[in-house]
Amino acid sequence: MITDAPPRKANQRAGFLESDRIKTLDLPQDGRLLTCAKSIEAAMKVETGVDVRRACADFLAVTSESYKTTTCGVRVLAARPLRVRENWTTELFGDYTPETMLIRLWMRTAVRKEFTSFGTFLSTLCHEFCHHLDYQKFGFHDSWHTRGFYERTAALYHHARGTPPKKLFWVPTSGERWRIDWPRTNRTTPPVG
Ligand SMILES: [Zn+2]
């Protein structure tokens, strides 16, 4: 995972820096997302797009209610469409269009047609929903991939999956960007509780 470079324009930069700073997300105080995530996993096992879509819609109904945002739509596609927004290069398994508030997820990769694993699929769903939150909860004019964005996404993902959150370690890279130091992140024992 690598962050976007900060925008050049000063007025956009302020929003970017704020997104970078917000490293936590209030999480729903019940187990509903865990239940929804298990339904997605079960639906993926039998590979029916209709059931996967319904389970994702249930998931998004809970998150939208929790964060008091408009519910965003979701479409589950068999394979990645050939034409995707080229500037969002990190979106390998899904995308989000702010104008229509629609998340698209695909169950297979574009080239090799391999099935997306449940973990990747759920992580993508959380990622795309966090784009929705950026516009609808935080009121940003754009939804950048900042360190804060990835931290918020990870918090939601681990909550939904029922796994302990990891502390993410970042290292600076070219163009004022950051990337996750995975060896260090994975080596660190997760905090208890
Ligand atoms: Zn993204």
Asked if 161 contacts 119 with a C-beta cutoff of 8 angstroms, the reply is yes
Which amino acid is located at 156 in the chain?
L
- Looking at residue 193, its pLDDT comes to 46
The mean pLDDT of 3-16, rounded to a whole number, is 92
* pLDDT tens sequence across 116-140: 899 999 999 999 999 999 999 999 9
Asked if 94 contacts 127 with a C-beta cutoff of 8 angstroms, the reply is yes
Go through 33-52 and write b for each residue having 16 or more CB atoms within 10 A of its CB, e for each that does not: beebbbbbbebbeeeebebb
Q: What separation in Å is there between the alpha carbon of 178 and the centre of ligand 1? A: 15
* pLDDT tens sequence across 66-116: 999 999 999 998 877 665 554 445 567 899 999 999 999 988 866 666 778
Find the helix or strand (DSSP H, E) in which 20 lies: helix 10-21
- C-alpha to C-alpha distance for 59 and 134, rounded to whole angstroms: 18
Q: What separation in Å is there between the alpha carbon of 133 and the centre of ligand 1? A: 12
Q: What separation in Å is there between the alpha carbon of 146 and the centre of ligand 1? A: 10
Please report, rounded to a whole number, the percentage of residues in the chain having pLDDT higher than 90: 70
Q: What separation in Å is there between the alpha carbon of 131 and the centre of ligand 1? A: 7
Q: What separation in Å is there between the alpha carbon of 9 and the centre of ligand 1? A: 21
Q: What separation in Å is there between the alpha carbon of 149 and the centre of ligand 1? A: 9
Residue bearing tokens 């936590």: 24
Mean pLDDT across the chain, nearest whole number?
A: 89
If one counts every other C-beta atom within 10 angstroms of the C-beta of residue 118, the result is: 17
Q: What separation in Å is there between the alpha carbon of 122 and the centre of ligand 1? A: 14
- C-alpha to C-alpha distance for 34 and 63, rounded to whole angstroms: 11
Q: What separation in Å is there between the alpha carbon of 115 and the centre of ligand 1? A: 20
- C-alpha to C-alpha distance for 128 and 60, rounded to whole angstroms: 10
Q: What separation in Å is there between the alpha carbon of 35 and the centre of ligand 1? A: 25
